Amino acid sequence: MADDLLKFVSINQQMPTKRTAGDRKADFDEIYDEFDTEGAKEQASRCSQCGVPFCHIHCPLGNNIPDWLRLTAEGRLEDAYEMASSTNNMPEICGRICPQDRLCEGNCVIEKDFDSVTIGSVEKYIADTAWENGWIKPITPAAERKESIGIIGAGPAGLAAAEELRKDGFQVHIYDRHDRAGGLLVYGIPGFKLEKDVVGRRTGRLEQSGITFHLDYEIGREATLSELREKHDALLIATGVYRARGLKAPGVGLGNIREALDYLTASNKVGFGDSVPEYESGALNAEGKNVVVIGGGDTAMDCVRTAVRQGAKSVKCLYRRDRANMPGSVREVQNAEEEGVEFEWLCGPEAFLGGENVEAVRAYRMRLGAPDATGRQAPEPVPDSTFNIDCDLAILALGFEPEDLPALFGSPELRVTRWGTVTVDHASMMTNLPGVFAAGDIVRGASLVVWAIRDGCDAAENIKSYLTAKQQDAA
């Protein structure tokens, strides 16, 4: 084994420098500095190069993590990027936003006693280095194919599929109802986790590669699904899921009770310099307010940390289970606490109190009872435990559900499951409509960006096989 590996016994885990909580609360910039070359090489050298790399197994993309860590440790950064990008269309994005503590790093074999290799930070470093050095070029297919493919949704699944299809020379068109490409990456994730120029580099490269973007284009308004099918040889539905999961509680209809995605989208648009009337009026602005966020996932963490940066008077997060059962990233919870967010563990909302607008949340304490169907302990209310929390802005971050796509697309024949997700043949990823495929959250339900990328790549392979077989049958 080379001298530049297996150094986890002599070198401690080290993340890139994190800005102080006081500094980072003042802006929406990313909170971690970048590794320098020596720092990245040093952390990569801690990889044990184990025979069964659990980091690789627990990565939805099957990234060859030990291989690009070894190349980084050896100073072969261009080769490291080539290795990382061979399985991941967006390594600099995954390096920033993947919950590594639940995936690759959380399953590193040296994690227990020596702390895991900081895989995400190294991934981010080698990809950013590749951009800075001009190693990432527009796609130039070996040969052009005449078949046209339409992709509905410019989020991670749609972008990943578009890249893979363009590599094979297909004519790719992406349709998205928003004014910028990127979907959740642009409007759902705050800049302190993912600065928007990072996404812009990726979408810009796809445009330079010959992929056509149709923005502000809503299926069902500009064209029905049937009309779009007539324009293309195949379609991919990759819309994601954006309809907020509701909460039934007295007073939930009061003013200043808002959905998480509306709140985050407004904040991100302001970051772009857009005029957002609801932000300017204060309806989607936490400045000077007592903010209560209800939920415990990564979206809830995005909301509480955004509220801090907007100058909230206080920020509290209510979650019905305890810290150990928090679905959000452990690092994100820690970052939020450092920035002044207060967590009310084992706590749920009973009612919203106020006149025209919410003035308080009546909450109750909870305890963990018997395990539910998934094996998690089910929370149950503690009798006579209610208390009030001052609240001027309540944000509901309870997850997302699919919109009614058959109605939205003007295509009642499109088959969906009882949960509203699109029904597909899981071997081919094709819907009940010939030549129409679906991938990402609209099939699997709300999930991680890294899974959307994986699904987009798999869908591209299935579309390629379908069109190739169709071409052969016609010959």
Residues of the chain with CATH 3.50.50.60: 148-241+402-474, 246-399
Q: What is the pLDDT of residue 368?
A: 93
**CA 124 – CA 414 distance, rounded (Å):** 39
Q: What is the pLDDT of residue 113?
A: 63
How does residue 459 score in pLDDT terms, banded at 50, 70 and 90? very high
As a whole-number percent, the residues of the chain with pLDDT over 70 amount to 97
How does residue 464 score in pLDDT terms, banded at 50, 70 and 90? very high
Q: Which residue has the higher pLDDT, 36 or 113?
A: 36
Q: What is the pairing mode between strands 314-318 and 290-294?
A: parallel
Specify the length of the chain in residues. Answer: 475
Residues of the chain with CATH 1.10.1060.10: 7-132
Tell me which of 282-286, 373-377, 468-472 is least confident: 373-377
Query: Which helix (H) or strand (E) element contains residue 148?
Result: strand 148-152
**Mean pLDDT in residue range 220-228:** 96
**Mean pLDDT in residue range 235-253:** 95
Q: What is the pLDDT of residue 12?
A: 77
The 10s digit of each residue's pLDDT in 298-315 is 999 999 999 999 999 999
Q: What backbone phi and psi angles, to 5 degrees, belong to 346?
A: 50, 55
How does residue 376 score in pLDDT terms, banded at 50, 70 and 90? confident
**Mean pLDDT in residue range 233-242:** 97
Provide the 3-class DSSP secondary structure of residue 81.
Answer: helix
Fold of 246-399: FAD/NAD(P)-binding domain (3.50.50)
The b-or-e profile of 295-321 (16+ CB within 10 A means b, else e) is bbbbbbbbbbbbbbbbebebbbbbbbb
What the block records as the tokens of 124 is 């981010």
Q: What is the pLDDT of residue 4?
A: 64
Q: Which listed CATH number (3.30.413.10, 3.30.70.1150, 3.50.50.60, 3.30.930.10) goes with 148-241+402-474?
A: 3.50.50.60
Given strand 314-318, what is the order of strands in its sheet?
257-259, 393-396, 290-294, 314-318, 342-344
Q: Give pTM, 2 decimals.
A: 0.94
**Mean pLDDT in residue range 342-365:** 97
Note the CATH architecture for domain 7-132. Orthogonal Bundle (1.10)
pLDDT above 50 for 51: yes
How does residue 141 score in pLDDT terms, banded at 50, 70 and 90? very high
| Residue in the structure block whose two tokens are 């080290």 | 14
188: nearest Cα among 25, 33, 306, 320: 306
Provide the 3-class DSSP secondary structure of residue 317.
Answer: strand
**CA 330 – CA 143 distance, rounded (Å):** 46
The 10s digit of each residue's pLDDT in 355-370 is 999 999 999 999 999 8
As a whole-number percent, the residues of the chain with pLDDT over 90 amount to 86
| Residue 280 one-letter amino acid | E
Tell me which of 49-53, 409-413, 471-475 is least confident: 471-475
Beta bridge partners of 292: 316, 394
Average pLDDT, whole number, for the chain? Answer: 94
pLDDT above 70 for 124: yes
Q: What is the pLDDT of residue 1?
A: 42
Cα diameter, the chain:
75
Q: What is the pLDDT of residue 34?
A: 86
What the block records as the tokens of 110 is 């040296």
The 10s digit of each residue's pLDDT in 3-44 is 566 666 667 788 899 999 999 999 999 999 888 889 899 999
The 10s digit of each residue's pLDDT in 151-205 is 999 999 999 999 999 999 999 999 999 999 999 999 999 999 999 999 999 999 9
**CA 415 – CA 53 distance, rounded (Å):** 40
How does residue 254 score in pLDDT terms, banded at 50, 70 and 90? very high
Q: What is the pLDDT of residue 359?
A: 98
Q: How many CA atoms lie within 13 A of 127 on its CB side?
A: 23
CA 441 distance to own-chain centroid: 10
